[in-house]
């Protein structure tokens, strides 16, 4: 009842024209229900006692009008069909058409909606109408119609980017407008921009007046409120308020919104300007073209979404190389190695991406898209095949715009598989019919007749063959790995081969006891340790000098090795952004020296002061990495393993070994790394008792 009249049920002194909006309700299972409300006004008798001079006059029309709502609740979001259907019911009532309302409503409740996959169906409610229902080709892509383009027209590029970043970093967002439908469209547009992430917090596009106290909740939300309650939102100190009517976004002083990292932020602004304001590119030309082709509102909507789709592809490129399989049975569990992803991208200090990866939306993204065998969509293809193209197109606005238009065409085709046949034929009411003085009240419906129509349609559906949705599953392409060498600022910077050679030579001199030559190269080695490639080179070279899990050094050798290890670890944050600590962990327990008979000092006693060792998440990642290595050794015999060779549980449940090696980050990247021969041979034999007990203790047994 509250959602039908969000501003409250009240009488009006005059009859208003009918209104329509769609509210969104969420049930306990997080399933959304779309509540279409068509409201008109009926005359009611005035409660005031008429005066004597009025009593003798002619019959007076009613002076007060009460709202009455026709409500249609559906799990499917077909706003235009809802509007046409409820409008047709109102037309039959207000114009007195010779059509049974019970038949129309019964046909509406029993019409068959086509399953997703680009299907379409023409329906009629029995009043001479014709409506075409189309479903998107891929239901994983959101349907936005024109809502995204309208949001940018109302707020502008800068304000929408603020809201976009606020939503991704889990801030509270409140929309204000005097139009309920605009509130719904704005909230829907913001969710469409977040694709492929899905918003998982409170989502109420139209909040009734009786529930305004929900705005004080401590959890993030996206909520819409009518602007007549704007005064009641002034005391909200931690809510980002967007006024759709005024085109402003107010960010409280106590709220800090992390923005996109550069240069992505500037690139996104420029791309949006090319789409929304094409005249800007030719504004300074001495001889500008006579005509500039502007996209329609629906196509502009898809072009804007294409810009954000490219943005997410750039933000999350290589994410599949940082997935961890940590359990297969009874249910596959996939974990994202955040530290390796940020470290290899050089973004460990970026506040925005760190918050995004820690958020609920990205956790759902990993759960939903981490599976390697599933249906793929446009985002999967973009991350897998278009990253290199986007990198090559940087700086070339024409190529960027061409790519945006190509993606927009695909988005439009997904939403409108048959654009030429979406013609609706629905009778509308006579103009000005709501102003009639003596309009009869809406009649009571015969529930028995409606139920009989529903039962007849249900009986026919039971004999019809069930509609089956064909899912085309395949192995999800991994795409190119994360760039091998990235510095903290995110710019690619290759360490020279000479620096890496200096590191190798210095380590060789140390283990050959050529200390004089090692001392000469040591300052250069310390300077080279600023680069990630040099640190990885150091861990690789040290691994070569460990035999049988032990390497006993003399005092000078030990001191050199400890100094180099400390130099490697000093730049590691608590997240171990480059995987250096993970690679050094087995080395600090291998290198040692004899202090005196019976007393041995290991390297770990000299590198304990670094912050990375105090982080519980680092040790969790190390444990999961070890578990995954054992799983790979069990199920992967060769580097050329194909999906058919994987166990049935992985193929059917959608789980596969990790793509790449984010733990150590020192091996050559490959889609399916090959295990060591010793583990491969063991995987072909029955696991030993000791190995079986270890697997069962960590919950990672075979299917």
Q: Which two tokens stand for residue 701?
A: 């047994």
Q: Note the helical H segments in 359-395.
A: 360-369, 378-385, 387-393
Q: How many folded domains does the chain comprise?
A: 3
If DSSP codes are grouped into helix, strand and coil, which group holds residue 490?
A: coil
Residue 636 lies in a domain: no
Residue 49 has pLDDT above 70, yes or no: no
Residue 484 has pLDDT above 50, yes or no: no
Is the distance from CB of 146 to CB of 301 less than 8 angstroms?
yes
Angstrom distance (rounded) from CA 565 to CA 606:
9
Cα–Cα distances in angstroms (integers) from residue 656 to residues 316, 334, 362, 620, in the given order: 19, 9, 19, 20
Same domain (yes/no): 83, 110: yes
Please state the rounded mean pLDDT for residues 603-613.
Answer: 85
Residue 539 has pLDDT above 90, yes or no: no
Domain-ending residue, one of 250, 269, 287: 250
pLDDT digits (tens, 9 = 90+) for 310-358: 999 999 988 998 888 777 777 778 888 888 888 777 777 788 999 999 9
Angstrom distance (rounded) from CA 105 to CA 670:
59
Residue 391 lies in a domain: no
Please state the rounded mean pLDDT for residues 269-290.
Answer: 86
Residue 633 lies in a domain: no
Q: What is the pLDDT of residue 495?
A: 46
Angstrom distance (rounded) from CA 193 to CA 37:
26
Residue 485 lies in a domain: no
pLDDT digits (tens, 9 = 90+) for 159-184: 999 999 999 999 999 999 999 999 99
- Least Cα distance to 70 among 104, 46, 45 occurs for 104
Lowest-pLDDT choice from 151-155, 509-513, 612-616, 641-645: 641-645
If DSSP codes are grouped into helix, strand and coil, which group holds residue 45?
A: coil
> How much is the mean pLDDT over the chain?
80
If DSSP codes are grouped into helix, strand and coil, which group holds residue 224?
A: strand
Same domain (yes/no): 534, 595: yes
State which residues form the domain around 205.
147-250
Residue 679 lies in a domain: no
Q: What angle do CA 457, 118, 307 make, to 5 degrees?
A: 135
Is the distance from CB of 314 to CB of 390 less than 8 angstroms?
yes
Same domain (yes/no): 546, 442: no
Residue located via tokens 């035999």: 547
Instruction: Give the best-scoring range by mean pLDDT among 300-304, 420-424, 693-697.
Output: 300-304
Question: What's the pLDDT band for 245 if we cut at 50, 70, 90?
Answer: very high
Gyration radius of the chain's alpha carbons: 32
Residue 293 lies in a domain: no
More confident site: 698 or 542: 542
Same domain (yes/no): 162, 117: no
Domain-ending residue, one of 441, 463, 485: 463
Domain-ending residue, one of 568, 595, 614: 614
Question: What's the pLDDT band for 599 if we cut at 50, 70, 90?
Answer: confident
Same domain (yes/no): 547, 458: no
Residue 558 lies in a domain: yes
CATH number (domain holding residue 246): 3.40.50.11500
Same domain (yes/no): 450, 556: no
Question: What's the pLDDT band for 15 if we cut at 50, 70, 90?
Answer: confident
Same domain (yes/no): 23, 129: yes
Q: Which two tokens stand for residue 121?
A: 């169906």
pLDDT digits (tens, 9 = 90+) for 185-202: 999 999 999 999 999 999
- Least Cα distance to 206 among 245, 227, 179, 180 occurs for 180
Same domain (yes/no): 108, 129: yes
Q: Which two tokens stand for residue 90?
A: 């109102």
Same domain (yes/no): 192, 241: yes
Q: What is the pLDDT of residue 614?
A: 82
pLDDT digits (tens, 9 = 90+) for 349-370: 788 999 999 999 999 999 999 8
Same domain (yes/no): 108, 155: no
Same domain (yes/no): 121, 176: no
Terminal C-alpha separation, the chain: 50
pLDDT digits (tens, 9 = 90+) for 615-652: 887 888 788 878 877 877 777 764 433 333 333 333 33
Angstrom distance (rounded) from CA 490 to CA 352:
14
Q: What is the pLDDT of residue 382?
A: 93
Q: What is the pLDDT of residue 681?
A: 39
Angstrom distance (rounded) from CA 599 to CA 597:
6
Residue 324 lies in a domain: no
Q: Which two tokens stand for residue 66?
A: 């009460």
Same domain (yes/no): 515, 455: no
């Amino acid at each position: 009842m509250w959602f039908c009249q969000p501003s409250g049920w009240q009488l009006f002194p005059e009859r208003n024209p009918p209104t329509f909006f769609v509210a969104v309700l969420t049930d306990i299972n997080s399933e959304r229900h779309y509540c279409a409300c068509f409201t008109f006004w009926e005359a009611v008798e005035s409660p005031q006692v008429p005066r004597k001079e009025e009593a003798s006059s002619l019959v007076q029309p009613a002076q007060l009008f009460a709202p009455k709502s026709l409500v249609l609740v559906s799990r499917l979001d077909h706003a235009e069909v809802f509007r046409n259907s409820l409008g047709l019911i109102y037309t039959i009532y207000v114009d007195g058409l010779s059509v049974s309302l019970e038949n129309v409503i019964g046909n509406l409740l029993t019409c068959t909606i086509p399953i997703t996959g680009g299907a379409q169906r023409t329906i009629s409610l029995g009043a001479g109408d014709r409506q075409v229902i189309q479903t998107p080709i891929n239901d994983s892509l959101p349907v936005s119609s024109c809502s995204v383009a309208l949001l940018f027209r109302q707020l502008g590029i800068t304000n929408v980017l603020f809201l976009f970043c606020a939503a991704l970093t889990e801030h509270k967002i409140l929309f204000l407008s005097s139009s309920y439908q605009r509130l719904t469209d704005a909230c829907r547009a913001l969710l469409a921009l977040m694709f492929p992430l899905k918003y998982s917090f409170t989502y109420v596009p139209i909040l009734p007046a009786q529930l305004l106290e929900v705005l004080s909740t401590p959890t993030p939300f996206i909520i819409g409120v009518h602007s007549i309650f704007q005064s009641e939102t002034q005391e909200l100190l931690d809510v980002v308020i967007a006024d759709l009517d005024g085109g402003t976004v107010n960010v409280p002083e106590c709220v800090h919104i992390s923005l996109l990292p550069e240069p992505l932020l500037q690139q996104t602004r420029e791309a949006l300007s090319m789409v929304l304001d094409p005249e800007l590119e030719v504004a300074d030309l001495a001889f500008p073209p006579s005509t500039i082709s502007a996209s329609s509102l629906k196509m502009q909507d898809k072009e804007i979404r294409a810009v954000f789709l490219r943005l997410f592809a750039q933000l999350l490129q290589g994410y599949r190389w940082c997935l961890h399989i940590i359990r297969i049975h009874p249910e596959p569990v996939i974990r994202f190695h955040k530290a390796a992803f940020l470290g290899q991208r050089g973004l460990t200090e970026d506040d925005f991406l760190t918050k995004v990866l820690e958020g609920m939306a990205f956790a759902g993204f990993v759960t939903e898209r981490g599976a390697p065998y599933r249906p793929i969509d446009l985002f999967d293809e973009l991350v897998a095949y278009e990253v290199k193209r986007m990198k090559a197109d940087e700086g070339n606005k024409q190529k960027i715009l061409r790519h945006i238009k190509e993606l927009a065409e695909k988005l439009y085709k997904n939403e409108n598989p048959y654009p030429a046949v979406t013609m609706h034929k629905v009778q509308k009411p006579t103009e000005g019919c709501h102003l009639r003085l003596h309009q009869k009240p809406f009649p009571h419906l015969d529930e028995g007749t409606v139920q009989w129509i529903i039962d007849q349609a249900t009986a026919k559906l039971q004999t019809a063959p069930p509609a089956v949705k064909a899912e085309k599953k395949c192995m999800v392409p991994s795409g190119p790995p994360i760039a091998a060498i990235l510095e903290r600022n995110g710019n690619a910077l290759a360490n020279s081969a000479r620096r890496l050679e200096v590191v190798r030579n210095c380590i060789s001199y140390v283990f050959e006891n050529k200390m004089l030559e090692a001392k000469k190269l040591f300052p250069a080695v310390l300077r080279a340790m600023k680069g990630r490639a040099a640190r990885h080179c150091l861990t690789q070279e040290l691994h070569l000098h460990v035999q049988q899990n032990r390497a006993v050094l003399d005092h000078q050798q030990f001191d050199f090795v400890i100094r180099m290890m400390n130099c490697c670890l000093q730049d590691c944050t608590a997240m171990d952004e480059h995987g250096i600590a993970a690679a050094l962990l087995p080395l600090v327990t291998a290198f040692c020296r004899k202090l005196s008979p019976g007393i041995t000092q290991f390297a770990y006693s000299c590198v304990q002061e670094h912050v990375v060792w105090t982080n519980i998440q680092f040790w969790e990642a190390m444990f999961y990495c070890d578990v995954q290595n054992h799983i790979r050794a069990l199920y992967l015999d060769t580097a050329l393993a194909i999906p058919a060779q994987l166990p049935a549980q992985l193929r059917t449940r959608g789980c596969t070994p990790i793509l790449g090696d984010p733990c150590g980050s020192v091996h050559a990247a490959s889609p399916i790394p090959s295990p060591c021969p010793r583990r491969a041979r063991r995987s072909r034999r029955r696991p030993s008792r000791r190995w079986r007990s270890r697997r069962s203790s960590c919950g990672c047994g075979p299917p």
